Structure 1
Amino acid sequence: MTPLKKQCSFKKALATACMAATIHPTEAARDIKATLDQADGAMKLVIQIPCLNEAGQLPGTLLELPKQLSGFDEVIVLVIDDGSTDDTAAVAREHGVEWLIRHRRNRGLASAFTSGLEASLRLGADVIVNTDADGQYPASEIPKLVAPILLGKADLVIGDRRPGENKGFPLHKRFLQRVGSKLVSRLAGAEIPDAVSGFRALSRDAALQTSVLTSFSYTIETVLQSCHNGLSVVSVPISTRRTIRPSRLFRSLPQFLIRSGMTILSLQVRYRPLAFLVPSACVFFLAGCLPVARFLYLSGIGRGDGHVQSLVLGGVCLLASLLLLGLAVLAHLCAVNRSILERMEYLRRKSLDVISSRDLAAPAVEGSILPVNARAVSHG
């Protein structure tokens, strides 16, 4: 059965179970299991864990992951080894990880996340949960995370660590997280209290529409992209554990702020070029009109000598305004073209066949996904 037919059957079976919308999410996930079992096709959850030199922390994380989960007929664990120099891959094998992807070199968190999504889709995932290997996110929170998707209320669910109140965060980090999340919420047009949380769940349809282009981190881009595509994004409060290991994503707080700021700016230009560039052009236009008007006034009363600088400054600002308007038109055309290409890519992904048992018995080829006990796949 194709994922599309299975999803339709799932929705039909879920309709009756979702009538009581006021029940608690975790209770809802339990209550709908009986209905799900009657659906035509098995529901599959893939839990993906991007890793970089996590041989010490990975065992504890793997041991607490659920083998079964209410609402799903199958739970698969997928580890993405992003060019680790320790025994991360060997540790994953020793602890029974079913699927493993290895990058030959470190390609960054965003690339590891993308590799996981593509593999999860090929494995036939109906819901994908992304979590960290350092144990910051308790596995006991996974049912709460996937409940809105099972109920058909969300496409992307973000685990809200409540950074403004979390005592495990330093004071300055709490402040910056709160400010950053408010900015992302404003740009996304939705309430996102913890935009950079890596603990999140995606429906199959949301994963099919996700294309991460930034190299720094996937968190902000996937939120803005999902909202831009009209998907439902919700947050659920979660508990966290305090980690003492320094972040491997950035070396210092200034680096994190600069790279995050550049990411937000890039995404704003990419998804809303007119809203960003046209106001900028208007600012330069007004800034150019004032000195030009001053020069014309002074020339009109016979005192224009020695004020040619105002004319030069005004001309430069007006030229910049014209250039920004032209750039806004080009950026808008590029955005329209990108939307068409993203739609085509979405349809292409949706047509991909799920890996079958026959595929698993075939010889390994570069870029394929194979179970750990067959062979781990390496990507450049």
Structure 2
Amino acid sequence: MNETSTSPVDVVLPCLDEAEALPWVLERIPPTWRAIVVDNGSTDGSPDIARGLGAYVVHEPRRGFGAACHAGLIVATADIVCFSDCDASLDPQLLPRVAGPVLDGSIDLVLGRRRPTTLGAWPLHARLANLELARLIRRRTGLPLRDLGPMRAARREALLALGLTDRRSGYPLQMVVRAADAGWRIRETDVPYHPRMGRSKVTGTWRGAWQAVRDMRAVLAEHPATGPVAPVPGDVR
């Protein structure tokens, strides 16, 4: 059963063995906003730490970044949902900047464009993979995007209407592609990107980074919907 919250914004934090980073991340969630930590099979006590720090904890047994993100979206109850990594690479205190244009209705989906704070914050192989993905996204959607940032904000019901199906690393890309196909207003805003705590589960190696690119190519190969599409958030038809 979903835990109903009066929070204006729910923050979905997919989590796999992030015990070291969780205290820093959760203490920086904006006041009155709710943190939803989606545990994806941690063995380091992350769920208990998150619960002890006041987060709402959800367990998603299906492994995959997309599976964790979507589980958080399903249980969210706020009108606005933010997503962010749970490894301390992105500062949750910046979420109001990201969510602001969605809250005021001027933008439908805001993506945080990562700006590394140090040379080691974004390993070369991960940055090259991201550059390739950004190029493919621009070609597929026509949007002038330069990053597929995991920090983002949109309206919950509109996101659910996109019918997202990817449950692996292609989930954030599928969200952007389907939102673009539906005519959403999409914008990037710069956010500092810090060295993460612990090792990345997706792009921590060359092999992992390029496997993610291969997974995402399948999403980019999807044909735009020919039938009814998800409505633009706030659009009255």
**Residue 267 (1) aligns with residue 219 (2):** yes
Cross-structure match for 2:102? 149
Q: Secondary structure at the match of 2:221?
A: helix
Q: Secondary structure at the match of 1:118?
A: helix
Cross-structure match for 1:209? 161
For residues 115-264 of structure 1, the aligned pairs below 5 Å read: 115-120=71-76, 123=77, 125-162=78-115, 167=119, 168-195=121-148, 197-217=149-169, 218-243=171-196, 245-250=198-203, 252-264=205-217
Cross-structure match for 2:57? 100
Q: Is the 8 A contact 1:214 1:263 kept in 2?
A: no
d(CA) in 2 for partners of 1:111, 1:245: 21
Q: Secondary structure at the match of 1:239?
A: strand
Q: Secondary structure at the match of 2:213?
A: helix
For residues 242-321 of structure 1, the aligned pairs below 5 Å read: 242-243=195-196, 245-250=198-203, 252-264=205-217, 266-272=218-224
**Residue 54 (1) aligns with residue 18 (2):** yes
Letter matched to residue 76 of structure 1? R
Cross-structure match for 1:110? 66
1:106 positional shift: 4.6
Q: Which has the higher strand share?
A: 2
1:245 positional shift: 2.4
Cross-structure match for 1:301? none
d(CA) in 1 for partners of 2:185, 2:161: 13
d(CA) in 2 for partners of 1:45, 1:190: 26
Letter matched to residue 81 of structure 1? D
Backbone CA RMSD of aligned residues = 2.4
Q: Is the 8 A contact 2:113 2:191 kept in 1?
A: yes
Letter matched to residue 91 of structure 1? I
TM-score, normalised with respect to structure 2: 0.84
Q: Secondary structure at the match of 1:157?
A: strand
Letter matched to residue 210 of structure 1? L
Note the alpha carbon deviations across 1:97-140, whole angstroms, 9 max, x for none. Answer: 2x22112x3521100100111111xx2x1111111111111122
Letter matched to residue 100 of structure 1? V
Q: State the percentage of identical aligned residues.
A: 25
Q: Structure 1 pair 201/243, CA: closer, same or farther in 2 (3 Å)? A: same
Larger RCO, structures 1/2 (Cα 8 Å, 6+ apart) = 2
1:145 positional shift: 0.3
Q: Structure 1 pair 209/241, CA: closer, same or farther in 2 (3 Å)? A: same
Letter matched to residue 267 of structure 1? V
Note the alpha carbon deviations across 1:144-174, whole angstroms, 9 max, x for none. Answer: 10111123221111000146x9733234543
Q: Structure 1 pair 171/92, CA: closer, same or farther in 2 (3 Å)? A: closer
Note the alpha carbon deviations across 1:238-257, whole angstroms, 9 max, x for none. Answer: 11221252211256323432
- Unaligned 5+ residue runs, structure 2? 1-5, 232-237
Letter matched to residue 102 of structure 1? H
Q: Is the 8 A contact 1:81 1:100 kept in 2?
A: yes
d(CA) in 2 for partners of 1:261, 1:108: 15
d(CA) in 1 for partners of 2:144, 2:211: 23
1:67 positional shift: 1.5
TM-score, normalised with respect to structure 1: 0.54
1:83 positional shift: 1.8
d(CA) in 2 for partners of 1:193, 1:66: 27
How many matched pairs?
224
Q: Secondary structure at the match of 2:222?
A: helix
d(CA) in 2 for partners of 1:130, 1:117: 9
Q: Structure 1 pair 268/54, CA: closer, same or farther in 2 (3 Å)? A: closer
Cross-structure match for 1:375? none
Large movers: runs of 4+ above 3 Å: 170-176
Q: Is the 8 A contact 2:22 2:87 kept in 1?
A: yes
